[in-house]
Amino acid sequence: MPDDLLNGTDDPQSYDASSIEVLEGLEPVRKRPGMYIGGTDERALHHMVAEVLDNSMDEAVAGHANRIEVELLADGAITIRDNGRGIPVDPHPKFPDKSALEVILCTLHAGGKFSGKAYQTSGGLHGVGASVVNALSDSMVVQVARDRELWEQRFSRGVPLGPVEKVGAAPNRRGTTVTFHADAQIFGAHRLKPARLFKSIRSKAYLFSGVEIRWKSAIDDGETPTEAVFHFPGGLSDYLSETLGGAATYADAAFAGTVDFKERFGTPGKVEWAINWTPSRDGFIQSYCNTVPTPEGGTHEQGFWAAILKGIKAYGELANNRKAAQITRDDLTTGGCALVSCFIREPEFVGQTKDRLATSEAARLVEQSVRDRFDHWLTADTKAAGAILDFLVLRAEERLRRRQEKETARKSATKKLRLPGKLVDCSASARAGTELFIVEGDSAGGSAKMARDRKTQALLPLRGKILNVLGAASSKLGSNAEISDLTQALGVGLGTKFSIDDLRYDKVIIMTDADVDGAHIAALLMTFFFTQMRPMIDAGHLYLACPPLYRLTQGAKRVYCLDEAERDAWMEKGLGGKGKIDVSRFKGLGEMDAKDLKETTMDPASRKLIRVTVDEDAPGDTGDLVERLMGKKPELRFQYISENARFAGELDV
Ligand SMILES: Nc1ncnc2c1ncn2[C@@H]1O[C@H](COP(=O)(O)OP(=O)(O)OP(=O)(O)O)[C@@H](O)[C@H]1O
């Protein structure tokens, strides 16, 4: 070994005991916030609120509080107040010169939730939440009203500014009030967002019907109410109907319920759930454990799906439907919209941000609780059960067919053209007169499939938003799944391989919801065509569909309106029917039934289309044009393209 390596080039003396750092108190939290709060971004900042709110929720779930107030203050600080027992302020037995309050807020792993004595099923368990928030706040004030007295202690960056002090009397109240202002040294320019807070606070109230949560915000973002009171005695089934917002469902009332583990298994805790199936959107599951959201799922979700899967298969057998045996968990989730919330003792989560539940017992408790109820529910409402079973069997068959198609496509070496699995192609073999509708997968897929003319109209559902091609490297384009599906469906190649002669359809029609998200997706797609497949626009192949925003009905008369102006005009002159005019606003394409969608948006005999063209004489220099069209601001882009798209005529037939 060469000498210099043996001896090292650095002075070995400098690596001694003194280089082994021990971070004291809350220093490690400030040094590595990511380890404790999952990062320093906006999500992490909002997680700070969740940590404090969860402590108040734990008090409520334990039966000691029934009201929580959350107030966002003008300077970006936030106050969370509950009427619980109040954090203890007496001297701590282990550290007699400090109050329990100070120990909790300034020491990692101090808490009352380790033994299950003070709390039975709590979201908190590591004893770090409050101290982490304290460490990452430039100011934190904790007030405790207990035994008719009001106590207060102030902190900055995890360090007490003085001891806990009595600051007055509290004859008529009790509980804990925490006000903190997140430290800009940690979170930079990120600010608490009213909309985000509002949503998560509201979902907390749904999760525990025994609590009333009051919301107040000094910051008005123009769309979030600045004051609200949340109290939902109907719990998760109310939450589910609100989330589905009137979409058609296979069961009139969701399959919902609660099982108390104590009654059923003799162990503390419970599970509450609600699920329904709908053809008009992709399925989802939102799960919670002890009111903490678990976006990555875990054992409670596994237990839930196992119960539903086994239940539906058993019902299929009972109903002599042999195909039910093919259903898998994936089929359940395609249209199944589910909420599951469980409360268990000493839950084990993965990581401090608690994204996934790991307690294995939860799977068993949830599965057994849900399974019995599901069996009863299915046999009691055979109409809903039959509809759900048929829907799931169809899903399973579609999945199997897609797999088979993929296999045959792979096997047949002679077949040059590979089409994406999710393309719903038309049957005509020649290009003339054919159309490809690019639709937002979540919503429109279902009704569009029924509304189309199978012979000439094909559908390509896209999942969410496609890549913004402007910011992306060209190597990324080819590997992006949505773009490669789109390119394959069109039949034209990408980049140097592009050839318009290979285009498989006459018209390519972008059909998105008439809302901001839809506009964004349309803008991304137009940017893609403009930058990557410009000849398609020049040759007049690209169109935008114009779904209506309103449907007016008066007696037997019905009209659709593209916008407010058209609606107002009709309202004024009347439709010529009898009675009052009924106005419904379509939130998305998925809300329209197949008949509406066909008549207004897809049928060449009655629809309106906008042809996308590029106006070479547009004012403004090219730099401005490129920036507006393809820069980072989609609203500018969409506005520009809409303003400059030439209308191909009122009716396109
Ligand atoms: N609003 C409150 N009311 C009553 N006691 C509280 C309140 N907030 C915190 N506590 C007490 O402080 C302890 C420590 O809270 P902290 O948030 O640090 O950890 P935790 O909730 O035990 O666990 P986790 O780190 O998983 O959130 C709690 O266990 C509880 O005993």
CATH number for position 316: 3.30.230.10
Query: 568 lies in a domain?
Result: no
DSSP codes, 63-128: TS--EEEEEE-TTS-EEEEE-SS----SBPSSSTTSBHHHHHHHSTT--S-SSSSS-SS-S--SS-
As a whole number, mean pLDDT of residues 221-241 equals 92
Query: 557 lies in a domain?
Result: no
Question: What confidence tier does 117 reach under pLDDT thresholds 50, 70, 90?
Answer: low
Residue whose Cα lies nearest atom 10 of ligand 1: it is 87
646: helix, strand or coil: coil
Query: 565 lies in a domain?
Result: no
Residues 86 and 206 grouped into a single domain: yes
Residues 160 and 253 grouped into a single domain: no
Question: What confidence tier does 7 reach under pLDDT thresholds 50, 70, 90?
Answer: very low
Residues 105 and 168 grouped into a single domain: yes
Query: 556 lies in a domain?
Result: no
- Last residue within a domain, chosen from 227, 262, 283: 227
Residues 347 and 431 grouped into a single domain: no
What is the model's pTM?
A: 0.57
- State pLDDT tens for residues 386-427: 999 999 999 899 888 888 776 665 444 334 567 787 888 888
pLDDT higher than 50, residue 508: yes
123 CA: nearest ligand 1 atom: 26
574 φ/ψ sector (left φ>0, alpha ψ -120 to 50, else beta): left
Nearest residue to 283 via CA among 137, 133, 392, 139: 392
pLDDT value of position 5: 45
pLDDT higher than 50, residue 3: no
Q: From CA 251, how far away is CA 241, in angstroms rounded? A: 12
pLDDT value of position 619: 38
Q: From CA 640, how far away is CA 645, in angstroms rounded? A: 8
Tell me how far the alpha carbon of residue 517 lies from the centroid of ligand 1, in angstroms. Answer: 39
Q: What is the 3-state secondary structure (H, E, C) of 592-645?
A: CCHHHHHHHHHCCCCCCEEECCCCCCCCCCHHHHHHHHHCCCHHHHHHHHHHHC
Domain containing 508 equals 419-547+586-614
Query: 13 lies in a domain?
Result: no
Query: 101 lies in a domain?
Result: yes
Question: CA 40 from chain center: how many Å?
Answer: 21
pLDDT value of position 6: 47
pLDDT value of position 519: 83
The encoded tokens of residue 184 equal 């800009």
127 CA: nearest ligand 1 atom: 19
> Which range among 135-139, 336-340, 592-596, 599-603 shows the weakest confidence by mean pLDDT?
592-596
Question: What confidence tier does 288 reach under pLDDT thresholds 50, 70, 90?
Answer: very high
Mutation test of ligand 1: which of 48, 113, 354 has the most ligand atoms closer than 8 Å to its C-beta? Answer: 113
Q: What is the 3-state secondary structure (H, E, C) of 262-330?
A: HHHHCCCEEEEEEEEECCCCCCEEEEEECCEECCCCEHHHHHHHHHHHHHHHHHHHHCCCHHHHHCCHH
Tell me how far the alpha carbon of residue 286 lies from the centroid of ligand 1, in angstroms. Answer: 25
Mutation test of ligand 1: which of 87, 115, 153, 174 has the most ligand atoms closer than 8 Å to its C-beta? Answer: 87
pLDDT value of position 409: 53
ipTM: 0.96
Tell me how far the alpha carbon of residue 134 lies from the centroid of ligand 1, in angstroms. Answer: 12
More confident residue, 516 or 303: 303
Residues 103 and 204 grouped into a single domain: yes
Q: Are 519 and 449 in contact (CB under 8 A)?
A: no
CA distance to 221, 311, 479, 520, per residue, from 632 (Å): 22, 48, 22, 12
Residues 282 and 180 grouped into a single domain: no
Mutation test of ligand 1: which of 36, 52, 55 has the most ligand atoms closer than 8 Å to its C-beta? Answer: 55
Contacts of 327 by beta carbon, 8 Å cutoff, 6+ apart: 309, 312, 313, 316, 392, 393, 395, 396
Residues 271 and 201 grouped into a single domain: no
pLDDT higher than 80, residue 626: no
Residues 202 and 305 grouped into a single domain: no
Residue whose Cα lies nearest atom 9 of ligand 1: it is 55
Residues 195 and 240 grouped into a single domain: no
Tell me how far the alpha carbon of residue 111 lies from the centroid of ligand 1, in angstroms. Answer: 6
CATH number for position 516: 3.40.50.670
Q: Are 573 and 539 in contact (CB under 8 A)?
A: no
More confident residue, 614 or 362: 362
Q: Are 400 and 337 in contact (CB under 8 A)?
A: no
pLDDT value of position 140: 97
pLDDT value of position 648: 36
Buried b (16+ CB within 10 A) or exposed e, 499-522: eeeebbbebbbbbbbbeeebbbbb
Active site residues: 440, 513, 515, 517
Residues 348 and 484 grouped into a single domain: no
Q: CA neighbours within 13 Å on the CB side: how many for 497?
A: 9
Nearest residue to 49 via CA among 201, 165, 221: 201
- Last residue within a domain, chosen from 227, 250, 270: 227
CATH number for position 53: 3.30.565.10
The encoded tokens of residue 558 equal 């019905």
Tell me how far the alpha carbon of residue 51 lies from the centroid of ligand 1, in angstroms. Answer: 9
- How many domains is the chain partitioned into structurally? 4
> Which range among 55-69, 100-114, 507-521 shows the weakest confidence by mean pLDDT?
100-114
More confident residue, 24 or 102: 102
Query: 406 lies in a domain?
Result: no
CB-based burial of residue 308 (10 Å sphere; 0-12 exposed, 13-18 middle, 19+ buried)?
buried
The annotated binding site for ATP is made up of 15, 55, 82, 124-130, 354
pLDDT higher than 60, residue 65: yes
As a whole number, mean pLDDT of residues 478-501 equals 84
Ramachandran angles phi, psi of 503, nearest 5°: -55, 130
Residues 208 and 60 grouped into a single domain: yes
CA distance to 459, 498, 628, per residue, from 589 (Å): 14, 32, 28
Residue whose Cα lies nearest atom 12 of ligand 1: it is 111
Query: 652 lies in a domain?
Result: yes
- Last residue within a domain, chosen from 174, 208, 227: 227
**Contacts of range 144-149, beta carbons closer than 8 Å, 24 or more positions apart:** 144/86, 144/87, 144/89, 144/101, 144/175, 144/176, 144/177, 145/86, 145/170, 145/173, 145/174, 145/175, 145/176, 145/177, 146/85, 146/86, 146/88, 146/89, 146/170, 146/174
* Ligand 1 environment, Cβ below 6 A: 51, 55-56, 59, 82, 84-85, 87, 104, 111-113, 118, 124-131, 176
- State pLDDT tens for residues 297-343: 999 999 999 999 999 999 999 999 999 999 998 888 888 999 999 99
Residues 275 and 183 grouped into a single domain: no
pLDDT value of position 339: 96
